[in-house]
Structure 1
């Protein structure tokens, strides 16, 4: 008995009839259109054709001979090709129609949404109405691809993609196959889902996972922060209303660094006699 056809299937169907604009394929119970733009070769009536089923822009079940890079039973890393704030983001699955990853599956904070060009680990799923959507890969799926890190990785640099968030930070899957955790305090700036980040390994855990940071080592950070503070003053007429005694929250809010980092950088500038502090201000000399 012929079964119902669903989006997301890869199946073989017979050519029921040819039209100027394509082919109607059937399983004996239901017909779908294989548009000529979706056919890789010409077919005759009665031919059997392997196709992938999806919904076109008008929501109609349609067929393509181009096979997607992901299916309902697999996942891959997909590029974000569009962002629609009311809907979500669109990813390229290898066919002419891009697939929607619903906003319901994206972070609540809009600033953490992927940008065009970012990369997401995704598969496909059907909702309750049998509509086809992109589906973010979960931790267990990513874990299957991972490898354990060795102790000698500490302080080494690597690169990877942010694949999920928690209250404490972001999870990153590195190009080397390591499961990495980037704590909020170790972010030089906020990161997005799907963003490719350069990280430094700060700790190798017993289970083979790693903790990472996007911040430089203390010595390098002191140089970088000192340059940033000096330029900040130059851009504002040679002074700023911040000193070693300023409120830590105000420093964090203005410069996105801790008070300890601020004092290290300021100490470098004072030692080099590039600045002086007086009456609650720091001045360029």
Structure 2
């Protein structure tokens, strides 16, 4: 049975002027001439995406949509009409979000995160902005520090909402993100904590023990100091942005790291700079 809304490996059955027909258990499916791979012949198998065209016919294409059925994606609204919003998902026919599947009325030109699914009643591919029912919140098969993929879906007062591995809802805390992030961004992250209520906190950096993190930060500061001839124009009085811009670490971590270096007699901390106590040529 053909998997509508997904990729299928189908065999070329016959050729016509306007393309080729691919054989499937549900009958022959047209692959228009402009999508037929160069050199393809009858009997060859081709990887195609199968969906319905503007006339509601099942059709194949070698063009790749931005997402497939059973996936979450953030897509731009091309047009908003009384029957629903039409999203650009990379194919000739736009993806419909019916009006009753919109949490709020969708606006042309804006980007929204949706879940794409096959409507069992109409056998049509549609999308919804009501994501909750499609996210797992039980039997979470993740562990702390596990590397995961993140899709940015929105913002709250305290953090950035993400979808983890196309399965779970998660949260990135704003005070731990030092880069510009917008809806639709795909990031690599790590599981920070799975709370008793099954809510998941994630981070963009692998969590280390406090001791390991400070040691790593101190080593980095020393390395940068050596390359800068033993002097950096930042100190524990500098702004978080200045520190992150120079060292890509939080002010909290920076202060602890230079504190450990100062106690060890390695650096001198002034009001607006830090400096190596030991001459550069001894390192």
Q: How does the TM-score come out when normalised to structure 2?
A: 0.53
SS of structure 2 residue aligned to 1:104: coil
Q: Distance in 2 between matches of 1:235 and 1:134?
A: 55
Q: 1:164 aligns with which of 148, 153, 171?
A: 153
Aligned to 1:270: 262
Counterpart contact for 1:204–1:210, Cα < 8 Å: yes
Q: Distance in 2 between matches of 1:79 and 1:98?
A: 17
Structure 1 unaligned spans of 5+: 1-7, 9-17, 24-32, 43-50, 81-88, 108-119, 126-132
Aligned to 2:138: 147
Q: 1:104 aligns with which of 99, 109, 123?
A: 109
Aligned to 1:226: 218
The reply on whether 1:178 has 2:133 as its aligned counterpart is: no
Q: Distance in 2 between matches of 1:161 and 1:136?
A: 19
Structure 2 unaligned spans of 5+: 6-14, 21-29, 43-49, 76-86, 97-106, 119-124, 279-283
CA displacement at 1:232 relative to structure 2: 2.9
The reply on whether 1:282 has 2:274 as its aligned counterpart is: yes
Higher mean C-alpha displacement, 211-220 vs 188-197: 188-197
Aligned to 2:236: 244
Q: Distance in 2 between matches of 1:158 and 1:265?
A: 26
Length, aligned pairs only: 216
Q: How does the TM-score come out when normalised to structure 1?
A: 0.53
1:113-124 mapped onto 2 (5 Å cutoff) = 122-123=115-116
The Cα offsets for residues 120-166 of structure 1, whole Å up to 9 and x where unpaired, read as: 875389xxxxxxx99675432542x443449x95x442413224120
The reply on whether 1:201 has 2:165 as its aligned counterpart is: no
Counterpart contact for 1:242–1:282, Cα < 8 Å: yes
Counterpart contact for 2:178–2:244, Cα < 8 Å: no
Q: 1:219 to 1:139 in 2, by over 3 A?
A: farther
Counterpart contact for 2:137–2:199, Cα < 8 Å: no
CA displacement at 1:262 relative to structure 2: 1.5
Q: 1:53 to 1:185 in 2, by over 3 A?
A: same
CA displacement at 1:67 relative to structure 2: 9.7
Counterpart contact for 2:117–2:126, Cα < 8 Å: yes
Q: 1:210 aligns with which of 190, 200, 204?
A: 200
Aligned to 2:121: none
SS of structure 1 residue aligned to 2:53: strand
Counterpart contact for 2:150–2:189, Cα < 8 Å: no
Q: Distance in 1 between matches of 2:114 and 2:64?
A: 12
Aligned to 2:81: none
Please provide the CA RMSD for this pair.
5.2
CA displacement at 1:257 relative to structure 2: 3.7
SS of structure 2 residue aligned to 1:280: coil
Aligned to 1:83: none
Q: 1:249 to 1:176 in 2, by over 3 A?
A: closer
